[in-house]
Amino acid sequence: MTIAKSAVSSAGDGGTEHWMIRNPVLPGFHPDPSIVRVGSDYYIATSTFEWYPGVRVHHSTDLVHWQPLGGVLTERRLLDLTGTADSCGIWAPNLTYAHGLFHLVYTDVATFAGGYWDPQNYLVTAPSMAGPWSDPVVLHGRGFDSSLFHDEDGTTWMLSMRADWRPGRNRFGGIEIQRYDCAERRLTGPAHLIFEGTGAGLTEAPNVYRQDGWYYLVTAEGGTSWTHQVTVARSRHLLGDYEVDGGGPLLTSAGRPELPLQKAGHGSLVQTPAGEWYLAHLVARPYSAQGRCVLGREAALQRVEWAAGAWPRIRDGVPAERVPAPTGVVVTAGPPSSEQLEDDDFDAPELGPNWSTLRRPATPDWIDLSARPSHLRIHGGQSPMARHRPSLVARRVTARQCTFEVTCEFEPRNARQLAGITAYYNSRNWYYLHVTADDDCTPVLDVLCCDSGRVTTAPGLRTVLDGVPRIGLRVRLDGPALTFAYTTNPGEMAVWYDVGRTFDATTLSDEYAATIVPGEPEAWGFTGAFVGLWVQDLGAEGGYADFDRAAYRAD
């Protein structure tokens, strides 16, 4: 596996240099960032929804370079996503550090239909990001976007939005807080409603920070789409009353469709060792003005000016693509991040940090990296519509222009066995270039398309592969255009053949997956596009495929 560091930029002025942060710092599906600093190390945890490992984490020492560490919730002991619906599962994790331990709070959401969420909150702790992580503490299920606040007096408090399922009521009922007893590992005492939000509505994602004798409450409002924003309120007392910043949102891109970074909101603050402040928050990059966002919701950083006793401020209150790095940061420029450029020959004993698996962890019963040296063997799973045992290993699409290429060996015995590559959004929207068998057992190459739950075969693309034991498969995203290609002689001298049709990549977007029900909050898709390796054995007959190489290139 080839792992590379992030590229960075610098800006000079009068012979001096200052390194710049390029946004988004975590491109592709990395929403709801929760940032924490421990010593000189920064960590960002992001939502993963129906994908394992749950809660993806990145590490940096300068806020410029970010290295993927993979996910925290790697096993069913920590997270069970069996049967999880699209865009449900892990919402908005919160990562903090106190008493010598990392504290990770996360919500497992069962649904968001009809005004219900069925959110169950959990807490796990570990002495380091490498673990071991404790068994989950079961917290309340009254709302999602939970967080912990560790006060100066040694107490710990849990915050979350308060969900109200009742028709005709405000489904986002405000922000509540309850004390958490770290020794007893349980919530204790009454829950207090401390903030009901502003006129922007949809108040969620609370974080509390203590600064200069004030408690600052940072929330997300306006929904997670175009009117998203970061709202700040403060109080002299933790339990309120909280006064809203009269200067308006700390950050938003609402009403500014010309900005390249849209949907700015859902933020968390971090202070550098030198006392400078930054806000980690989500953004999205539509392919046209308020158009579809194939890359999903991404993570960005903004510089925050925060004078003693004053309100925190971001320049112009809008997200910038380039932000000054912390003063004194010394950075060595390097090649692109492994999330932008990686060749994986599957030589490692386990999947690398850029791979995710759908709804079930990467366990030996279906993922095998030892049966053949330098090969990933994937045992076939259920159909694309099933939510229990899919066999999909995928990685995030991180750029508008990118290519994903694999080498595959597969001997299908019948039409119930399929293997290949996919461009995937959710169970209702995907494309699948695959090898399968015809009725006479002849292997063939074909393309399946799923548009809003309707599965079709792309006409005229079926290709006979008789006598081809090894095949190269490629998917290319070029803005809204998606194309597939294949080669029967993979390697340095490969000759690639285009399958002959261009598909619409924008169907793999949050906006296209949205479900709008009158009278209910808009239920957007939340995940962003993936490319990956997919194997299906619909008859449970022992089918598997071997993948020798997988290469991802972002232009």
For the annotated catalytic residues, the residue numbers are 32, 204
Distance (Å, whole) CA 45 – CA 301: 13
Map residue 317 onto helix, strand or coil.
helix
Distance spanning both ends of the chain, measured CA to CA: 19
**Residue type, position 146, single letter:** S
Distance (Å, whole) CA 533 – CA 385: 16
Return phi, psi of residue 159, to 5°: -115, 155
**Residue type, position 258, single letter:** E
Distance (Å, whole) CA 353 – CA 336: 16
Q: How far is CA 41 from the centre of its chain?
A: 21
Distance (Å, whole) CA 130 – CA 113: 36
* Region class of 395: left (phi > 0), else alpha (psi between -120 and 50), else beta: beta
Reported as type and span, the H/E element at residue 36 is strand 34-38
Map residue 66 onto helix, strand or coil.
coil
283 in Cβ contact with 25 (< 8 Å)? no
Pairing of strands 454-457, 16-22: unpaired
Mention every residue, 6+ apart, whose C-beta is less than 8 A from residue 104.
Answer: 45, 55, 72, 93, 94, 95, 123, 124, 125, 126, 133
Pairing of strands 101-109, 119-126: antiparallel
* Residues 126-155 as b or e (16 or more Cβ within 10 Å = b): eeebeeebbebbebebbbbbbbbbbeeeee
Q: How far is CA 485 from the centre of its chain?
A: 28
